[in-house]
Chain A
Amino acid sequence: MPFIGRDWRADGEQWTKTEIGSWERPRRLSLSSSLLNVNSSLSDVFNALEIANSVSNIRRFNYIAKVVQILFKDKLGELSGNAQRSLFQVIGRMIDMVLKTGDNISLMQRIVTQFHNSIHSAYPFYYYIGSAPLWQRHIEMLTRMQETIKQVQTNMIKTDEDSSKLTFNCLPVEMQREVLRRLDNGTDIVNVGMINSNIYRVSQELLIWRQLCLYHFGGDTQNSNNSKLGEKILGLMRRQQDDIDTNDIDWKNAYFKLKRQYGLREVYAEMIHQCQLCKCLYWQDSNHTCPYETLSPSSIPITPRKLVTMLI
């Protein structure tokens, strides 16, 4: 019986090699695949947006990490089997990335550990979709991922750099300050301050903490070196002791207090946008061919949480 498939007389299909060495058919990002129908599932959208491959893009990594975190923290009970598979595929690729570059190790470890603990404690899985053996296999996979990450950490003994070359410690103070200014998390600044007494002195400088506070909690103030400090900061100062001199605030203390109260600001290098005209989802940096080209384009960025609510 002739095989049931495409006509063997026709041209073959095109196959391209992916980064991980496998072969795949070219993704046809036709409109129907990126359209947000009510019926399009999580795995379809993940495929259309090439989430698994985007993990290797440094600009998209944090966004995807946040989406993964929201999915397994809140929505684990609503994931279909296919969605679970896509989720694990994304996490697997993230771990591959971490193995390759060595960045973000603690982030991945936190993700995998939390995921593992939240499933482990839910035995015997009454509230999850899928059979018990399936979830046992998920747990095993997560345990294996944990082991892999632990191995990366122990292998991180850096090959000895030539002592005649420049090290971070030898940089002038201004340059160390420049690097510290680009950290957006107070814990990172504290950690880097603990490595050496020189860097400790730089990390204690109030100006860095002031910038950090204004960045996260400054509200919509455009210029940072002014007297308008944003309501959150002023609110904190009012609640504290009476006479606070604006030039004399302990910014480091203020940062930690405000962080507990309001949480940090989330900024991503590249976000997923939704075109307002055709309701298509696409990455910020890639092109979007809208069928309604005559109208003026308008799109809104989608936060990770909003994306998850849309998908599930």
Chain B
Amino acid sequence: MVGHKVKLQSNDGDTFDVEVDIAKQSVTIKTMLEDLGMEEEEVIPLPNVNSAILKKVIQWATHHKDDPPPPEDDENREKNTNDISTWDLDFLKVDQGTLFELILAANYLDIKGLLDVSCKSVANMIKGKTPEEIRRTFNIKNDFTPQEEEQIKKENECKNRDISLNFAQLTATNPDLIGILFVMSIKPKDSTSLFASVTDVSYFHTEDEVLFSMHTVFRIGDIKSMDGNNHLYQVI
């Protein structure tokens, strides 16, 4: 079937002649040709794709027409966002509007490979950035109220208290152990013992860890039981 061509028509009227093998990388087009029995002389209309994007898609499909089908282990492969070939990288050096249009087109035409690399390149633009930087990269307005933002930040942030609580709760299964959560407050002006923040040198650099020197003495303010059955206490 080499050499047979099909005509693809974009939504602004341009027609493109494409070889059948290349066009069949799109599962949508493949279905239209095979199951719906469309003749190869007919023009296949693609109402959701404009001609500029269709041209890019055909360019990608032509380059990748000899690709082997991807292995079944999709779930793990899709997280490897650096696994993009140099040609694809160059192909995707377009402005953001075009990149997102490519994603939509790949989804409509059901071309898994193109959807994969374009989503991966968007993911690469997100990785490692703070929310404000991501907003600036994609030019998106923040529509949270300050209270909502605070609440989300509290939920998501290192959860300093939650982390310690996790450790204390590990005793829940053992009836002989009691978990105790110490809440320590320090006034640097009044205290004479040494302490330091070890966040930068600690293995867990997402937690704010503070190291106290030995023999630091604390005064206990209050002891409360935190859950009903006296297995967890909080000392302030």
Contact = CB atoms under 8 A, between A and B. Distances in A.
Interface of A: 57-59, 61-62, 103-107, 113-114, 117, 153, 156-158, 160-162, 165-172, 174-175, 178-185, 187-188, 190-197, 200, 211, 214-215, 222, 224, 239-241, 256-257, 260, 267-269
Contact of B84 (A58, A214, A240): A58
Given A181-B78, A183-B123, A184-B79, A171 B104 contact: yes
Contact of B140 (A180, A185, A195): A195
Nearest to A106: B128
Contact of B119 (A103, A117, A162, A179): A179
Interface in B64-115: 73, 75-76, 78-84, 86, 89, 95-97, 100-101, 103-104, 107, 115
A110 to B, nearest CB: 9
A65 B104 CA distance: 33
Contacts of B129: 105-106, 191
A162 B97 contact: yes
Interface string B170-187: 101100000000000000
15 contacts: A103-B125, A104-B127, A114-B200, A161-B97, A165-B96, A168-B138, A178-B119, A179-B126, A181-B79, A185-B127, A194-B144, A215-B75, A224-B75, A240-B169, A256-B159
Contact of A166 (B79, B101, B200): B101
B136 interface: yes
Contacts of B80: 184, 267, 269
Contact of A195 (B78, B123, B134, B169): B134
Q: Chain B contact residues: over half helix, strand or loop, or mixed?
A: helix
B225 interface: no
Given A158-B136, A166-B100, A179-B126, A184 B81 contact: yes
